[in-house]
Amino acid sequence: MTDRARSATRSGGDPRQAETHCPYCALQCGMVLRETGDRVEVLPRQFPTNRGGLCQKGWTAAELLDHPDRLTTPLVRDPATGELRPATWAAALDRIAAGIRAVQTGHGRDAVAVFGGGGLTNEKAYALGKFARVALRTRHIDYNGRWCMSSAAAAGIRAFGVDRGLPFPLADLGRAETLLLVGANPAETMPPLMRHLADQRERGGRLIVVDPRVTATARQADLHLQPLPGTDLAVANALLHIALTEGLIDKDYVAARTTGFDEVRRTVAGYWPAEVERLSGVPVADLEATVRALGTARSAIILTARGAEQHAKGVDTVSAFVNLALALGLPGRPGSGYGCLTGQGNGQGGREHGQKADQLPGYRKIDDPAAREHVAGVWGVDPDDLPGPGVPAYQLLDSLGTPGGPRAMLVFGSNPVVSAPRAAHIESRLRGLDLLVVADFLLSETAALADVVLPVAQWAEEDGTMTNLEGRVLRRHALREPPPGVRTDLAVLTELAARLDAPASFPADPAEVFTELRRASAGGVADYAGVSWERIDADEGVFWPCPDPDGPDTPRLFADSFATPDGRARFQPVTHRPAAEPVCADYPLHFTTGRVLAQYQSGTQTRRVAALRRAAPNGFVELHPDLADRLGVAEGDEVRVASRRGELRAPARVTPTIRPDTVFAPFHWGGAARANSVTSDATDPVSGMPEFKICAVRVEKA
């Protein structure tokens, strides 16, 4: 029994309870779980991120713990019938180990790949990266967080020298005189965050939203800029052009704290507001109002999210908004700055400790000899035995089963059959593998294709840490043990490492893993050496970097310098370019995707919760009334959205909140309503981010 589960037990029939955090988004709202008899209830908890608030997903999260669809025994595919059948743990693990050995013997170590998830705890993300590099010795590991904020991460690293979603506490949003949200809809994706925006409004602050749709967040804005999808970069350059023209640049800040501004000045000189209005559809007056609100405010914050980042030019788009923030002197100024709203629960921590193809723990680069030596020393292996960098998530999935590509894959905490772009193609790649292993607690669309499915513990059944969108390291406390027949992901990796004769230890105890993680991250960009479970519990989390157990953590970055060799932030000259796939006569409309309030990610969990299913029972396609009229489509009619890659079918939702040249669908459903059957597989050359947010389609009544 874990320490927390043991301490949660009460004598005399009292309920057991545990303080923990929501299993969904990167806000990581604080909550209390209380178990009485056969019922687990969720109670709100006062925590800085959510301040006692929860969204509908958080309130209903415990319903999955005892869901009838819960997996409680391993499943192995019968080669004779092709069906998944119950098996013992020993048989399932032996099948996996034998399959891995056979594939690597015949095709080399890189013939086995690992695909992780942005919802895994820090301990599991760390262990998974170690398992890939030490037990499998494969370079092929990446994770679905690549599709979350990798573009913002890359832009942050090249501008600031560090990637932390928010380099300041979330509460700073409520103090900003002007707040610009670009491609973000927190009213639906992380509703408790809106409490901080309410604080901002109560203080007389101004909210500006950039989004092609009139979202729930945009409806609360003082000013809504509604650009054509894929033109955010041009909009950002036009904003900086206006700031230069109107003398709103913080010249002292630029001179003292940055480098490279002159080239950016020359680049944005060509982005005349009237030209950008013709390109994007955003009126010049709105561009000017936005710049003046930012440039004259005592404090201002610019935030980007998936709408700006999920493009084949996502890194450059984020860089354009970072350039604007730097030119106005915002990063590092009290109450001001640039930040990114991370999406997945551990999207931040998940990439810091080894799930990304090119990274080692502590946000170290895997091709850095000093980094390899340090981490190999912690792991007790030869640095020369560690593989080199792999490839980003989509390229990895697309290479499965191809000549020279991986022929086996282990998937932990992800459902790429629904979440990957060009999803039907990726599904076919997964089907063609010699061995597909999925560890999950529900039979997702990806797990349904697997040769072996391993039932693993849920968030309330294991201890661990998460790192939220602020870079705040948090503690999850287990309420109870997993059901009989269910094991933790760490226990799975321990067993497999032993069967593969791994030359290093793989502890199953998350406390032991975190202690090792601290050593491995020490001295890295994301330094957790001074973070301990006890320190987290004694306070409301710990912000990295925190190198000293007795020293302070770092709630705010960049106050004195940036994490670059000379301490200066770097401007990046970037230019607008069209979407990878322009509209044409055959595919005359723009297609974009996003989320809805009651569902989450690929919907594996939320589609099984009755209240959430009632609130959002199925996918849909948003059409502007003018477009619907031209197509002869009425509200509720089934429509077919087709691209060069595939199609989706779903009921029409006719609404004036979307542009007439654009259609929208949420990506939480599989089957006929799978939005990612349509999306583009073009990727950003720097981050590997797919272009989820725009492709060319045609729409017709089904």
Identify the CATH number of the domain in which residue 680 sits: 2.40.40.20
Among 341, 363, 390, the domain boundary falls at 341
DSSP 227: P
Question: CA 353, CA 362: separation in Å to the nearest integer?
Answer: 6
Does residue 575 fall inside a structural domain? no
Same domain, 517 and 656: no
Domains held by the chain: number: 4
The enclosing domain of 276 has a CATH number of 3.40.228.10
Same domain, 98 and 190: no
> For residue 334, what are the CA distances in angstroms to 164, 167, 666?
17, 11, 37
Same domain, 134 and 266: no
Same domain, 295 and 423: no
pLDDT, averaged across the chain? 96
Does residue 558 fall inside a structural domain? no
Does residue 554 fall inside a structural domain? no
- Give pLDDT tens digits for 395-423: 999 999 999 999 999 999 999 999 999 99
- Give pLDDT tens digits for 45-101: 999 999 999 999 999 999 999 999 999 999 999 999 999 999 999 999 999 999 999
Same domain, 337 and 354: no
Among 341, 376, 391, the domain boundary falls at 341
Same domain, 269 and 378: no
User: Which whole number is the average pLDDT over 263-274?
Assistant: 98
CB 40 within 8 A of CB 62: yes
Does residue 33 fall inside a structural domain? yes
Which SS3 state, helix, strand or coil, does residue 48 take? Answer: coil
Same domain, 359 and 388: yes
Residue 38 pLDDT grade (very low, low, confident, very high; cuts 50, 70, 90): confident
Question: CA 592, CA 309: separation in Å to the nearest integer?
Answer: 13
Question: CA 633, CA 649: separation in Å to the nearest integer?
Answer: 13
Q: Considering just the CA atoms, what is the radius of gyration of the chain in Å?
A: 24
Same domain, 322 and 415: no
Same domain, 691 and 641: yes
- Give pLDDT tens digits for 185-221: 999 999 999 999 999 999 999 999 999 999 999 999 9
Same domain, 377 and 472: yes
CB 206 within 8 A of CB 242: no
- Give pLDDT tens digits for 465-510: 999 999 999 999 999 999 999 999 999 999 999 999 999 999 999 9
Question: CA 36, CA 8: separation in Å to the nearest integer?
Answer: 12
CB 301 within 8 A of CB 338: yes
The enclosing domain of 24 has a CATH number of 2.20.25.90
Does residue 657 fall inside a structural domain? yes
> For residue 96, what are the CA distances in angstroms to 240, 437, 594?
55, 7, 36
Does residue 427 fall inside a structural domain? yes
- Give pLDDT tens digits for 136-190: 999 999 999 999 889 999 999 999 999 999 999 999 999 999 999 999 999 999 9
Residue 12 pLDDT grade (very low, low, confident, very high; cuts 50, 70, 90): very low
Residue 9 pLDDT grade (very low, low, confident, very high; cuts 50, 70, 90): very low
Among 543, 574, 597, the domain boundary falls at 543
Same domain, 248 and 365: no
Residue 10 pLDDT grade (very low, low, confident, very high; cuts 50, 70, 90): very low
Domain hosting 8: range is 3-64
The enclosing domain of 100 has a CATH number of 3.40.50.740
Does residue 553 fall inside a structural domain? no
pLDDT at 3 over 50: no
Does residue 153 fall inside a structural domain? no
> For residue 173, what are the CA distances in angstroms to 180, 201, 300, 335, 519?
10, 10, 9, 8, 33
Same domain, 138 and 204: no
